[in-house]
A and B are shown apart, each in its own frame.
Chain A
Amino acid sequence: MRIFDPHIHMTSRTTDDYQAMYAAGVRAVVEPAFWLGQPRTHPASFFDYFDALLGWEPFRAAQYGIAHHCTIALNPKEAGDPRCLPVLDELPRYLVKDGVVAVGEIGYDSMTPAEDTALATQLQLAADHELPALVHTPHRDKAAGLTRTLDLVRESSLPIERVLIDHLNETTVDAATDSGCWRGFSIYPDTKMDPARMVALLRSHGTERVLVNSAADWGRSDPLTPRQVGEAMLAAGFTEDEVDLVLWRNPVEFYGLSGRLDLSVAEPLSGTHEGNSILRGGE
């Protein structure tokens, strides 16, 4: 089972996690730029962090045979802090980097005017740089947040087919499906979505344009939940090919929209998959 986790915050995970992920079949990850726990108060804090997403973290991942790419953005939470807004001006020089496969995570946290501006600005940056966008739906007032998000995407010049809307659940999946966006689901141990519910959603809403991630970060989360979803799918009667579509080919296709996916670092799986041809990224 080859796995591409399309949303995981490796900065907050130990090297033991990389080992366990590799053993579970993870061969590629995308790490979205996000908050660190302790709020940042200077733009320079972001730049060192972005540099880490383009330097140290891909290096750490490569030590374990995992290809690491990132998304870059001013995240929803810190977009509300005026001290952090100058970060938006520096984004263009990051968005041209080889290792950046999308603008993200962007979206709403508390639904403020400042967040409106940051979201609109960054959707435009994605369009300008021919990158897709990773959009986070808020944890509070989620359905309303999704509606407002979709409105802003439609107002932007970024086509909805190049937008991944993440952290979806039963109350938001229909609106997301109708919009034509890519649909992201985050599987946490206790809260949000779990493997059984995910399998039910795959049954009712299909496997096309679906991405499953662990969104593992500082909180109680588990980088191995995508594997659990794969196993739950097989147990529920989905085929190996369907599992591979959801856990590998869909993330490759979505992030391949950037034209920058380079999976050559990813070590081939032992056993059933041989050779490097399966690891070539989408263009």
Chain B
Amino acid sequence: MKQALILGATSDMGQAFARRCAAEGFGLTLAARNTDVLGLLANDLRVRFNTEIETVLFDALDMAGHPTFYKNLKHRPDVAACFVGWLGDADAVHKDFTAARQVLDTNYTGVVSILDRVAEEFEARGKGIIIGVSSVAGDRGRQPGYHYGSSKAALTAYLSGLRNRLYASGVHVITVKPGYCHTKMVEHFDLPAAITSDPEQVAHAIYKAMKRKQNVVYVLWMWRWIMLAIQHIPEALFKRLRM
């Protein structure tokens, strides 16, 4: 039975992906900070799928603990998917560096820290799939939310480089770029329904990408073209816009 390690499993996308993997017969290791919700999620999956689920405490910001965390996993993963993310408060973040740091470290540094450990093992054995959930926000920095955006831009570049390095060893890396999605993270935002996905749609897109060995996946599909357009706006004009 194939094993999937899901980091940030209590996020809405992480939960949806966990359900999808369980439905497809994967064994699951769910890792997250919030052990209450993690327990509820694991139990829910057990009732739904009658399958064994391992749950482990994981904090993206506890980088010193990442090597031990990864080494001690009961089941070695075939697939590792990272859903860790933190939006932060766009107003507070540029005034208070501690808040800014949390955004940058959660979305980028912490993810690099754990994925490097995963990549090490996957490369040595010559197979596996690594999935990193970035964001369309990383495709161009705009106000507000450029701390989040830049951390995702960094993550996108990291995943691209990782994909490049691991290609020779047969390990596949997928970059997922969700656009607007109905999740806890943006619960209080009023998002345009036509271009906003549900976590289940993101999970489905990721699963499809795994099967087809896709490299960069936009969810929903139109965000690829939306971001292409946005990326082509000349900077002299872009700097004046308030999107």
Decide whether A and B assemble into one complex: no
The interface of chain A, by Cβ under 8 A from chain B, is none
The interface of chain B, by Cβ under 8 A from chain A, is none
